[in-house]
Structure 1
Amino acid sequence: MPKTLVSYPMYCAAPGAIDGFWRGLRRHLAAAGLTDVDADLTLPEDLPSHWTAPNLLLSQTCGYPLTHGLEGRVQIVGTPCYDAPGCEGPLYSSAFVVREGDPAETLADCRGRRVAFNSRDSQSGYNSLRRAVAPLAEGTPFFAAAIESGAHRRSMDLVRDDVADLAAIDCVSFALASDAGSTAGLRILGVSSSAPGLPLITAADAPPQTVARLRRAFSAACADPALSAHRAGMRLSGFEVLPLAAYRTILDMENDAIYAGYPDLA
């Protein structure tokens, strides 16, 4: 079997920040007794298969896949905390983004317009917006068109280019895009309700001592002064251990929209 795999596939940070943090985290993993780790981060093309690989040591997923297929197939290591508007401890929200100069003042003003979303299995890009729109839709179609973009940054491009009028963007993704100078021409119309952030996971059969070592290593990396610049580039500010039950919020948001007669954005 190949060495254990580690990836950080969910956020695009400043160049070098993730690799620099990984070098430090790998050092802390070794100090915690986890030495059989590939030197380089894995860049998975098929995330569902990667997340359930038997030799997965550490990765990050979205709360929606966690509650819709990964439960029982992975273990939660913990939830990173981020220093970004819309985050509070291990919780995060979505920014509802429109073009600068768009006359919309509230989400209700977007009725009959075009929405872009990254994917249907995204808490931040789809589920949070569906929940926010449900009471406004009153069981009827709300948007004139819903465009699946494949990525948050692509959704922002579609809004900026007047292909779509609105998108819900993970607040950490929006902050990192802002750091990169990629949010020009956009403004935040509002924010969604909060939910637990994107969890770190390990293989379902990882022994308790491995999970404990992962938590110790990641906590140490989050407190290591030598990694402060890399953490800043990632907007990473800490780490907390949340139970799986905390992610029930995501299912509640989905059920609220369905029970309101609004199962789909369009």
Structure 2
Amino acid sequence: MYDHPGQRAANDALWSAIARHLHGVGLAAPEALDRARPVEAIWHDPALLFAQCCGYPLVADPDLALRVIAMPIYALPDCPPGRHYSRILVRAEDPAHGLATIAGRRVAINAPLSNTGVNLLRAAAAQIGAPDDFFGPTVVTGSHRASIDAVASGHADIAAIDAVTAAVIARDDPTALRGLRDLARTPRAPNLPFVTARTTPPAVVAALREALHAAILDPALAPARAALFLHDIVPASIHRYRMLARIAREAPALAVDPSATEVATTVR
């Protein structure tokens, strides 16, 4: 999920270490990551061995048959272990002075089932008692990076950007955030989990967890972990993500206008 251009070599290094560990215990594993398909197609592949998934589809998409293997911990300010949030961005010159003042404004989202781009934005609106018709027209951009561009260019007025993604962009492409400012932050939620197909045998799940643990301890992978802001990986299950469904039930809806949809990358 966090596979921006400056992170791809790091993800490749991390996967190579995981694959070597699996090969070492007699298990088959692809030599390289699959970047040819949208992440949604990969999540629905019944032969999926390993991926990272947005937390909200886990509890909102009935067609997803995934098992949570583990959860990453990212080294970011204001992100307690295992939790992250979204930065709610507007243009620097926007007169808005709080979330309540953006009622009816145009919203850019990366994907309708995105937790950080949609669900947590709705949770922030629920915290201020926003009504069901609080949000204005919505444009689906395809990625957080494209949502940033949509706000900066004036095609949208507001977007909720995953704190991990925002940190990567601020480090690797800081001009993208020029002219934008933080209006508010969303509530925190569990970090995006590592997953496998639900039918993956328990012995393979255990081997994947062992491989992730080894990758965190490997000194040779320190540069890759730093590029990913990756501090630790801990075992987890889907139970950590049930709260995301509650947010969806209790928060104001976003009305997605299909005629206002832009196409972008699948990087979240």
TM-score range, shorter chain: 0.7 to 0.9
Residues 149-203 of structure 1, C-alpha deviations (whole Å, 9 max, x = no match): 1111000001111221110011111111111123222222221111111111112
| Counterparts of residues 250-261 of structure 1 (less than 5 Å) | 250-257=244-251
Q: How many residues align?
A: 253
Q: Identify the residue that residue 142 of structure 1 maps to in structure 2.
A: 134
Q: Identify the residue that residue 18 of structure 2 maps to in structure 1.
A: 25
1:65 aligns with 2:82: no
Q: Identify the residue that residue 263 of structure 2 maps to in structure 1.
A: none
1:128 aligns with 2:120: yes
* Counterpart AA for 2:206: A
RMSD: 2.1
With over 3 angstroms needed to count, the CA separation of the structure-2 counterparts of 1:256 and 1:19, relative to structure 1, is: same
| Counterparts of residues 1-266 of structure 1 (less than 5 Å) | 9-12=1-4, 14-15=6-7, 16-31=9-24, 33=25, 35-69=27-61, 73-134=65-126, 136=128, 138-181=130-173, 182-257=176-251, 262-264=252-254
Q: TM-score, normalised by structure 1?
A: 0.87
Greater CA drift, 133-142 or 19-28: 133-142
CA distance in 1, matches of 2:66, 2:87: 29
Q: Is the 8 A contact 1:126 1:265 kept in 2?
A: no
CA distance in 2, matches of 1:37, 1:190: 42
Q: CA deviation at 1:72?
A: 7.2
Q: Is the 8 A contact 1:85 1:171 kept in 2?
A: no
* Counterpart AA for 1:78: A
Q: CA deviation at 1:27?
A: 2.5
CA distance in 2, matches of 1:232, 1:14: 11
Q: CA deviation at 1:62?
A: 0.5
With over 3 angstroms needed to count, the CA separation of the structure-2 counterparts of 1:169 and 1:241, relative to structure 1, is: same
Q: Is the 8 A contact 1:222 1:238 kept in 2?
A: yes
Residues 9-43 of structure 1, C-alpha deviations (whole Å, 9 max, x = no match): 44426242222222223233334x15421211111
* Counterpart AA for 2:28: D
* Counterpart AA for 1:158: A
Q: TM-score, normalised by structure 2?
A: 0.86
Q: Identify the residue that residue 5 of structure 1 maps to in structure 2.
A: none
* Counterpart AA for 2:20: R
* Counterpart AA for 1:85: P
* Counterpart AA for 1:21: L
Q: Is the 8 A contact 1:118 1:152 kept in 2?
A: yes
Aligned-pair identity in percent equals: 34
CA distance in 2, matches of 1:47, 1:155: 18
CA distance in 1, matches of 2:5, 2:21: 21
Q: Secondary structure at the match of 2:134?
A: coil
Q: Secondary structure at the match of 1:56?
A: coil
Q: Is the 8 A contact 2:43 2:64 kept in 1?
A: no
With over 3 angstroms needed to count, the CA separation of the structure-2 counterparts of 1:112 and 1:72, relative to structure 1, is: closer
CA distance in 1, matches of 2:5, 2:222: 14
